[in-house]
Structure 1
């Protein structure tokens, strides 16, 4: 059974350039509050329990290591109830100045991750969440997701509108709405735990198909997980790095 995530809205997240640190930052204490964050190097790590009221449970996130433009981090969670609703989106947001899609050439990234635990049922995704707008400030206008894994029957918003083959993987493209912005979700045909690739061709595909304007500004690039249900689940990212070129 495919599950549909429901989103009430999303608070605009301001981004800013950050100085790359020359020496590594090692493991910090975990943080568990609804909107707790930690900035390290070029990243802002979010616990982000935005949908916690749709069920019950808890989640904590911690930064394990940051060195130059590479981060390792993990989040641990248990959620029950509201089986069709996303409870949170723990993620690593890359900090950069907004840039128009027409001025981009690539968004190279490496993401190595692994899930343990989860129990039964265990329903979640592992995904990029990318936001664009027609200006450098103000509200986001489009949400673009790239799902590296749909676990336990988790499904995206909307209906399938096409296929996209890239990086040796066939992705299904879904079009929907979170109630505020149009949402375009690319879903990998099978779980991808280690990926060294480029996110820009996904945006280019949307432009080519007329779903997205080349005049849009890239405003936020986040990488994390959306839990629906599970017990003692742990997502650990051993390596994550991304650039905006």
Structure 2
């Protein structure tokens, strides 16, 4: 279950009221709106997902994925917030969310489970910064500008206390924009309830992210690189 408790709340006012419970398409979809941006790098595989319920601001869904070959991310199956975006960070008061999830795997996998936010210099403009908040790291690794002698990424800040958990923060470029990645220091977070705006406030206070940037994308899902897994949320 993934819940953005309310749409993003601005300093001035809330955005909109929750949606009513309604009938949804619960059939399985393969290759449709699953963000399979790296699928061409796989020698074989697929990614299928379906909604299981929608009630108010709460969405339950599941995804089954299996990828073989290549070293890059193949897909990012996710739920995206579409209300309250394209606001400057200085104007956002809160982004409350709750996320409870579980995962089954077959053998070893390479993947992560994470929130993924993007900011831009203009409303609805091109991505300038990506902010990832990882719930789990399954043999994957964050983008980093600096690596230690053992080949592991080096955090720009360690043991940060944000939103009730402790994180290491990594920073680097994906070739198109800067990426900030918060990774939990104590393993996997399968039940998360927090205000995502705390992460944005940390970055504007300590890592040079401008409060004049616009939040243009807010998503949550799983980045799959290789292996076979089923994520239920």
TM-score by length of 1: 0.80
| Cα distance in 2, alignment partners of residues 140 and 59 from structure 1 | 25
Separation in structure 2 between the aligned mates of residue 183 and residue 121 of structure 1, nearest angstrom: 26
Preserved contact between residue 114 and residue 222 of structure 2 (Cα < 8 Å)? yes
| Partner residue in 1 for 2:167 | 171
Residues 40-74 of structure 1: CA deviation (Å, up to 9, x unaligned) = xxxxxxx1111111112101011111111110011
Specify the alignment match of 1:236 in structure 2.
232
User: Is 1:140 aligned to residue 127 of structure 2?
Assistant: yes
Q: CA deviation at 1:31?
A: 1.1
Shift of 1:119: 1.9
1:159-238 residue pairs with structure 2 within 5 A? 159=146, 160-163=155-158, 164-189=160-185, 190-231=187-228, 233-237=229-233
TM-superposed CA distance for 1:211, in Å, is: 2.7
Contact (CA 8 Å) 1:123, 1:229: kept in 2 or not?
A: yes
Are 1:155 and 2:152 an aligned pair? Answer: no
Name the CA shift for 1:173/1:68 in 2 (closer, same or farther; >3 Å).
Answer: same
The equivalent of 1:32 in structure 2 is: 30
Report the Cα distance in structure 2 between the residues aligned to 1:73 and 1:18, rounded to whole angstroms.
23
- For 2:35, what is the secondary structure of its paired residue? coil
Contact 2:54/2:60 (<8 A) preserved: yes
Q: 1:240 maps to what in 2?
A: none
1:12-62: CA deviations, max 9, x gaps? xxxxx99853233345211112xx23xxxxxxxxx1111111112101011
Q: In structure 2, do the counterparts of structure 1 residues 74 and 195 end up closer, same or farther at CA, with 3 Å as the change threshold?
A: same
Question: In the alignment, which of 67, 80, 86 is matched to residue 79 of structure 1?
Answer: 67
CA distance in 2, matches of 1:145, 1:131: 9
Q: Which runs of 5+ in 2 are unaligned?
A: 1-14, 147-154
Structure 1 pair 21–166 and aligned structure 2 pair: CA distance change class (3 A): closer
Q: Distance in 1 between matches of 2:207 and 2:106?
A: 41
Distance 2:191 2:23 in 1: 23
Q: How many residues align?
A: 206
Query: Paired residue for 1:127?
Result: 114
Distance in 2, Cα, partners of 1:109 & 1:70: 10
Rounded Cα–Cα distance in structure 1 between residues aligned with 2:17 and 2:95: 19
Shift of 1:121: 2.1
CA deviations on 1:67-91 (whole Å, 9 max, x unpaired) are: 1111001110111111x31110000
For the Cα contact (< 8 Å) 1:25–1:67, is it kept in 2? no
Aligned Cα RMSD in Å? 1.7
